[in-house]
Amino acid sequence: MANIAYSQRSSTFKRVAVYITGRLVMMFATVVIGVFLTILIANMGGYVDEIQRGIIREDVSQAANQNLSLRSLTSEERMHWVNEQIILREKQLGLDKPFMVRAVKFMKDALTLNLGRAQRMTSDKGSQMVRDIILERLPPTLILFGISGLLLFVVEIWIALGLSRHYGGFWDKLFVFLAPASTSPAWFYGIFLILIFAAMLGILPFGGMMDAPVPDNWVDYTLSLLRHMILPLVAVTLSQIFLNTYNWRTFFLIYSNEDYVEMAKAKGLPSRVIEREYIMRPTLPTIITSFALTLIGLWQGFIIMETVFNWPGMGRAYFQAVQFFDVPVIVGMTVINAYMLAITMFILDFIYAILDPRVQVANQGGNQ
């Protein structure tokens, strides 16, 4: 018996190991392809080099016209200065090397998480390391969108459960009625909220994350931060809560009508037990997947929202990187996102197996 049990355990372990290895290889291949495509797209297949060269020439010519000290030079000396500046700037951006050589280096660095240095951007603290730029912008994004994302997620599910229990009631009808309001993006609400509460009423700030000068004690600092978070939080809430709640409520309603739920009700089980054991439990994989993807989404920030509210987060950094054609920053942010997505998917496979006994690694590999 012990041998059979050992053999079964060994077989299971082997199947899991093969499965894990296969998944890891597949996900790594996906990441590699994704990152390489990002490099190609961010560089427009190498055309960005031409754009950069054109802009450098334009900028240097303009700088030469505006540089007062060059007015003491003859026109030939001025041209000499211009040409030397162009060579220096092209070298600084790596344009003295062929695109494919740089693309391979980008790829290698990205996959090894050596994010390198930005070409044009610096962090607010003056560092050119992509790592520093990302690490600096991450906390503001997490503070604002982490709070709003997590809070909304919990609140939406909480309200949705309530609505599903009181299907057809006043609040249910109200949320159904307001659901289309969430088709407008958060920045759209943001603009109106700024106009009303900052421009007209003057009771809340236009944007940014802190008063200037920055308060010198933590109480005022925290209050100032919260004050600056109000409008973006409200904007995000208005743009998401109705539709998401409506979706979750519909989702729960579907599960609420399953036969086993009806059976539980017929058995006279308390509604909280039914909710927790018969509705929430089977919907957990979906909820957790949604939660995990929400977490990953938070990391990228919200480009337009952060721009509207002048919020110094990841979204604005992304926007600036695209504006500057700062490929290392774009690739750096993308590769981290790709890794996080891959790792999340990988972990979710196990969570599904734990939460749902129907999910298991099949004998032929692959999962069911």
Residue ranges in 7-66 that form contacts with another protein under rule CB under 8 A: 47, 50-51, 53-55, 57-58, 60-62, 64-66
Binding mask 146-175 for another protein (x = CB under 8 A): -----x--xx--x-----------------
83 binds another protein (CB under 8 A): yes
Residues 288 and 153 sit within 8 Å (Cβ to Cβ): no
68 binds another protein (CB under 8 A): yes
Closest distance to another protein from the beta carbon of 126 (Å): 3
Closest distance to another protein from the beta carbon of 134 (Å): 13
Q: What is the largest CA-CA distance in the chain?
A: 98
Tokens of 135: 């690490």
Piece in contact with another protein (CB under 8 A), picked from 22-30, 134-142, 179-187, 260-268: 134-142
Q: Which residues ranging from 190 to 229 are in contact with another protein (CB under 8 A)?
A: 198-200, 202-206, 208-214, 223-224, 226-227, 229
With respect to another protein, which residue has the nearer C-beta, 198 or 284? 198
DSSP secondary structure string, 191-202?
Answer: HHHIIIIIIIS-
Piece in contact with another protein (CB under 8 A), picked from 135-143, 170-178, 239-247, 358-366: 135-143
Closest distance to another protein from the beta carbon of 154 (Å): 7
Tokens of 326: 């700062």
Closest distance to another protein from the beta carbon of 196 (Å): 12
CA–CA distance from 171 to each of 178, 181, 249, 282 (Å)? 10, 15, 12, 25
301 binds another protein (CB under 8 A): no
Closest distance to another protein from the beta carbon of 46 (Å): 12
With respect to another protein, which residue has the nearer C-beta, 139 or 285? 139
86 binds another protein (CB under 8 A): yes
233 binds another protein (CB under 8 A): yes
Query: What SS3 class is residue 2?
Result: helix
Residues 318 and 303 sit within 8 Å (Cβ to Cβ): yes
Residues 147 and 230 sit within 8 Å (Cβ to Cβ): no
Residues 140 and 313 sit within 8 Å (Cβ to Cβ): yes
Could you tell me how many residues of this chain bind another protein (CB under 8 A)?
Answer: 81
184 binds another protein (CB under 8 A): no
101 binds another protein (CB under 8 A): no
Burial class (CB in 10 A: 0-12, 13-18, 19+), 323: exposed
Tokens of 198: 């900052």
Q: Which residues ranging from 110 to 129 are in contact with another protein (CB under 8 A)?
A: 117, 122-129
Nearest alpha-carbon partner for 337 in 5, 35, 28, 1: 35
Piece in contact with another protein (CB under 8 A), picked from 32-40, 69-77, 247-255, 280-288: 69-77
Residues 345 and 330 sit within 8 Å (Cβ to Cβ): no
Closest distance to another protein from the beta carbon of 301 (Å): 14
Question: Which conformational region is residue 284 in: left (phi greater than 0), alpha (psi within -120 to 50 degrees), or beta?
Answer: alpha
Q: Which of 3, 5, 69, 363 binds another protein (CB under 8 A)?
A: 69
Residues 118 and 326 sit within 8 Å (Cβ to Cβ): yes
